[in-house]
Chains A and B, each alone.
Chain A
Amino acid sequence: SQTIHQWPATLVQPVGSPLSLECTVEGTSNPNLYWYRQAAGRGLQLLFYSVGIGQISSEVPQNLSASRPQDRQFILSSKKLLLSDSGFYLCAWSVLNSSPLHFGNGTRLTVT
């Protein structure tokens, strides 16, 4: 069966520090991969999605970036965090067009 791992679960970082969140999927090949952010009490905002290695589409221009160095690995990064980057970051995968997303457990980021 397919599983998705996302880490760390929680993170507290100072403003201006770098960020690296990692997500890996097991049990499937060539998945579509997604990064979402959910601010407190708000809906899900799509940040990036990827349909293959090295293919990244950005939905919201900001100081975040994403990379997919391997088929089942998706990384969210920032060189300098802002206070507004605080939120709940969710990685997700799907395998087919029109198939549902399956989410990782999420990373709760607090920028201080």
Chain B
Amino acid sequence: RKEVEQDPGPFNVPEGATVAFNCTYSNSASQSFFWYRQDCRKEPKLLMSVYSSGNEDGRFTAQLNRASQYISLLIRDSKLSDSATYLCVAYETANAGNMLTFGGGTRLMVKP
């Protein structure tokens, strides 16, 4: 089974800091990628889609490096409300259908 791997953390950062997470994927056929945010005991919510080299949305920047098979998520000016688990997802098309593989998540804790 192809895998998506993330550092589980936790990443403890002060408010206002910049923090970056990496996610590596083993299947070179993976076509698109997503970052989800999951709060404790809640469902994952889509944060960003990464279809090409990268994507930026406000304080959040996602980048894709196909040669090295990793994607990253950069959060600038961290807020207390950014504390959550961030899930990386790789999407590949297989004969049996569309296959999404989730990483185990990286936990972020932003401290005042």
| A98 contacts B by Cβ under 8 Å | yes
Across the A-B interface, how many residue pairs have beta carbons closer than 8 Å?
A: 47
Size of chain B's interface in residues, with CB distance under 8 A?
Answer: 23
- Chain B 84-112 residues near chain A, CB threshold 8 A: 87, 89, 91, 93, 96-98, 100, 102-105
A100–B34 contact, CB under 8 A? yes
Chain A interface category by residue count: 20 to 34
A49 and B46 contact, Cβ closer than 8 Å, known pairs A43-B102, A43-B103, A43-B104 = no
- In Å, the complex CA distance between A57 and B97 comes to 9
In the complex, residue of chain B having the shortest beta-carbon distance to the beta carbon of A4: B43
Closest approach, in angstroms, between the C-beta of A5 and any C-beta of chain B? 12
27 A-B pairs whose Cβ atoms sit less than 8 Å apart in the complex: A32-B98, A42-B104, A43-B87, A43-B102, A43-B103, A43-B104, A43-B105, A44-B44, A44-B102, A57-B96, A57-B97, A88-B41, A90-B43, A90-B44, A98-B31, A98-B51, A98-B93, A98-B98, A100-B46, A100-B49, A101-B89, A102-B46, A103-B44, A104-B43, A105-B43, A106-B43, A108-B41
- In Å, the complex CA distance between A100 and B103 comes to 15
- In Å, the complex CA distance between A88 and B41 comes to 8
| A94 contacts B by Cβ under 8 Å | yes
